[in-house]
Amino acid sequence: MELSQVRYFITLCKTLNFTRAAEQCNVTQPAFTRAIQRLEEELGGKLLFRERSLTQLTELGRAMRPHLEAMLDAADAATALAAAKRLHTPGSLKIGLGPGIGAAAVAGAVREVAVALPGASIHFKESGPAALIEAMLTDMLDCALLPEGCDMPERLNRWPLYVDRAVAVMPEEHRLCARNAVTARDLLEETVIVGESCGGFAAQLAGITGYSLRLQSCNGAAAQMLDMVAAGLGVALLSNRLRIAAPLASRAFTEPELERRILLTSVAGRPLNPAAASFIKLCRAQGFGSLEKRLLF
Amino acid sequence: MVATLGNDGFMRQVLAAGAVFPDFMLPSAEGRLVSLASRLASGPVVISFFRGEWCPFCRLMLAALTEALPQIEAAGASLLALTPETGGLALAMKTYHGARFEVLCDVDFGVGLAAGVVFRVPKLYRARCEAAGLSFPARHGNAAWCLPVPATFILDTDGRVAWRFVDVDFSHRAEPADIISALRQLGRQ
């Protein structure tokens, strides 16, 4: 398929009018119609049907539109980013982080964007899934990292990025620090601190084991929860991708292993600025150390 | 599939000799952003499209290019391998071959589309891939079921296509010896 054919088709999807779409693409209508026909031949069926003045997408047209739109955006973004670098156009990158999802895993990708586009402003927003989704839909955020399983509208693109595993976080002098790993049974004698930034690991644990854990609720940012752990309030189950520094320590949590999959999301069909588009590509290109074996032959 | 592509004038849409290859910036296997312009600043660039880590012909081609890299570099050129595969598969492909050249992720086929090398996988071939457990939507992060033809372009330092090899038959690849001789000829011009 040709870039121009795809561009014509996406313009036609937006206008649903051959004459107007051809005008917008600066091409004669016969040439425009031929291009659409050639694309239909390649894709193996009609993309649109025309009834008098009415033009509508066929089922195939509707199915192909988001994929072709992504490809067209990718073609434009690859050149737009190169141009932005040449012309030193600063950009902005606004990333949402769901509960208990740190920026460490994507920090390398953010650095690359900032190096390629000097002057780009970087903005992180930590919040619950609903607030982040609302912010993406109203164009206040470019993309967000969200846990799988949260309520998402159809129009969000979602790509699996990595799997988070729970670790037990406690003060360095805590008795469980002497172990290589902490189990559910070990926690029966402990207070477990739970809050929004915990990633739901404690609830998952209670669901799997049926144990009634001694819970202490503590809401706020991850930093505040860690301060409470350091003060000896209890043990917290957090993502293994958060950076834990002295005087705290973390131990792998096993029996049962607690996991959650993290998705990268963005609003489908919305053109992104070069900084955001390249950030998403960088993230999607990577394996995050958890390349799924099922993909490898 | 080869016959379908061969018959529908696919070759006409591929960037031809003399055309300017659109500048781009793509993520590398290691998670860096690599721009075409930065490579062209230091000499001609060989761009080779790969279908993916799963493709035995691509593996052979990558092995051959890995071996030919010293001669490509001796001719003053750099080599960029582009694949539509995401999720760390580009790095897996690069590591497997111990390749020193850049393997770039052409996420959502953007550069391949601009170069005219992308096609939609015909139904029969798609059914075979699915039966073999090969999920392009999972590997590409895009459910279009597209692939690039494994084309190779040599760009001069102005970014123009000086030489290309395109064959819709995915088992036919550019010979490293031909790439090297085209590069040497470019150096003499």
Mutate to test the interface with B, among A39, A62, A71 (most CBs of B within 10 A): A71
Mean pLDDT calculated for residue range A280-291 = 85
Mean pLDDT calculated for residue range A201-205 = 82
Q: Which of B66, B72, B64 is nearest to B181 (CA)?
A: B72
Say if residue A129 is in the same domain as residue A113. yes
Q: Which two tokens stand for residue B78?
A: 């750099």
Q: Which of A138, A132, A139 is nearest to A264 (CA)?
A: A132
Q: Which residues of chain A have a CB within 8 Å of the CB of B134?
A: 297
- Report how far apart, in Å, the C-alpha atoms of A129 and of each of A84, A123, A145, A251 are: 31, 17, 9, 27
Say if residue A265 is in the same domain as residue A157. yes
Query: CB distance from A44 to chain B under 8 Å?
Result: yes
Q: Count, in order, helices (H) and strands (E) of chain A.
A: 9, 12
Domains held by chain A: number: 3
Asked if A75 and B114 come within 8 Å (Cβ–Cβ), the reply is: yes
pLDDT of residue A295: 47
Asked if B87 and A2 come within 8 Å (Cβ–Cβ), the reply is: no
Residues 6+ apart with CB under 8 A from B126: B136, B145
> 């520094």: which residue's tokens?
A245
Q: How far is the C-alpha of B21 from the C-alpha of A262, rounded, in Å?
A: 36
Q: What is the 3-state secondary structure (H, E, C) of A90-108?
A: CCEEEEEECCCCCCHHHHH
Say if residue A113 is in the same domain as residue A233. no
Say how many C-beta atoms besides its own lie within 10 A of residue A123's C-beta: 12
Say if residue A64 is in the same domain as residue A140. no
DSSP characters for A175-221?
GGGGSSEE-TGGGGGSEEEE-GGGTTHHHHHHHHH----EEEE--S-
Coil, strand or helix at A275: helix
Say if residue A128 is in the same domain as residue A272. yes
pLDDT of residue A2: 92
Q: Given a cut of 90, is residue A288 above it in pLDDT?
A: no
Q: How far is the C-alpha of A10 from the C-alpha of B155, rounded, in Å?
A: 30
Domain containing residue A270: CATH number: 3.40.190.10
Say how many C-beta atoms besides its own lie within 10 A of residue B93's C-beta: 24
Nearest CA in chain A to B23: A79
pLDDT of residue A11: 95
Q: Is residue A296 part of a domain?
A: no
What ipTM was assigned to the predicted interfaces of this complex?
A: 0.90
Asked if A75 contacts A108 with a C-beta cutoff of 8 angstroms, the reply is no
Asked if A75 and B141 come within 8 Å (Cβ–Cβ), the reply is: no
Domains held by chain B: number: 1
Q: Which residues of chain A have a CB within 8 Å of the CB of B143?
A: 67
Domain containing residue A47: CATH number: 1.10.10.10
Phi–psi pair at A24, nearest 5 degrees:
-60, -30
Average pLDDT, chain A: 88
When mean pLDDT is compared across A49-53, B137-141, B162-166, the lowest value belongs to A49-53
Domain span holding position A206 = 164-259
Q: How far is the C-alpha of A206 from the C-alpha of A187, rounded, in Å?
A: 11
Q: Which of A221, A248, A247, A251 is nearest to A100 (CA)?
A: A221
Bridge partner residues of B46 (DSSP)? B79, B154
Q: How far is the C-alpha of B46 from the C-alpha of B57, rounded, in Å?
A: 18
Q: Given a cut of 70, is residue A75 above it in pLDDT?
A: yes
Phi–psi pair at A252, nearest 5 degrees:
-55, 145
Q: Which residues of chain B have a CB within 8 Å of the CB of A294?
A: 133
Q: Which two tokens stand for residue A146?
A: 């969200």
Say if residue A252 is in the same domain as residue A285. no
Q: Given a cut of 80, is residue A293 above it in pLDDT?
A: no
pLDDT of residue B175: 86
Write the pLDDT tens digit of every residue in B65-124: 999 999 999 999 999 999 999 999 999 989 988 889 999 999 999 999 999 999 999 888
Mutate to test the interface with A, among B85, B104, B108, B146 (most CBs of A within 10 A): B108
Q: Given a cut of 80, is residue B8 above it in pLDDT?
A: no
Say if residue A255 is in the same domain as residue A189. yes
Mean pLDDT calculated for residue range A259-272 = 91
Q: How far is the C-alpha of B119 from the C-alpha of B148, rounded, in Å?
A: 6
% of chain A at pLDDT higher than 90: 47
pLDDT of residue B73: 95
Domain containing residue B76: CATH number: 3.40.30.10
- Distance between first and last Cα of chain A: 29
pLDDT of residue A207: 79
Mutate to test the interface with B, among A7, A42, A113 (most CBs of B within 10 A): A42
Q: Which of A94, A13, A89, A92 is nearest to A56 (CA)?
A: A13
Q: Which of residues 67-126 of A touch B (CB under 8 A)?
A: 67-68, 70-79, 81-83, 85-86, 108-109, 112-113, 115-116
Asked if A7 contacts A72 with a C-beta cutoff of 8 angstroms, the reply is yes
Q: Given a cut of 50, is residue A296 above it in pLDDT?
A: no
Say if residue A43 is in the same domain as residue A181. no
Highest mean pLDDT among A69-83, A127-141, A202-216, A239-253 belongs to: A127-141
Q: How far is the C-alpha of A58 from the C-alpha of A62, rounded, in Å?
A: 6
Mean pLDDT calculated for residue range A137-149 = 94
Q: How far is the C-alpha of A187 from the C-alpha of B170, rounded, in Å?
A: 57
Domain span holding position B26 = 2-188
Phi–psi pair at A276, nearest 5 degrees:
-70, -40
Q: Is residue A278 part of a domain?
A: yes
Q: Is residue A38 part of a domain?
A: yes
Q: Given a cut of 80, is residue A102 above it in pLDDT?
A: yes
pLDDT of residue A21: 94
pLDDT of residue A278: 93
Question: What DSSP state is assigned to residue B35?
Answer: E
Write the pLDDT tens digit of every residue in A23-45: 999 999 999 999 999 999 989 89
Asked if B87 and A85 come within 8 Å (Cβ–Cβ), the reply is: no
Say if residue A168 is in the same domain as residue A156. no
Closest Cβ–Cβ partner in A282, A295, A297 for B87: A295
Q: How far is B149 from chain A (nearest CA, A)?
A: 11
pLDDT of residue A255: 83
When mean pLDDT is compared across A155-159, A199-203, B95-99, the lowest value belongs to A199-203
Q: Which helix (H) or strand (E) holds B119?
A: strand B118-120
Asked if A34 contacts A9 with a C-beta cutoff of 8 angstroms, the reply is no
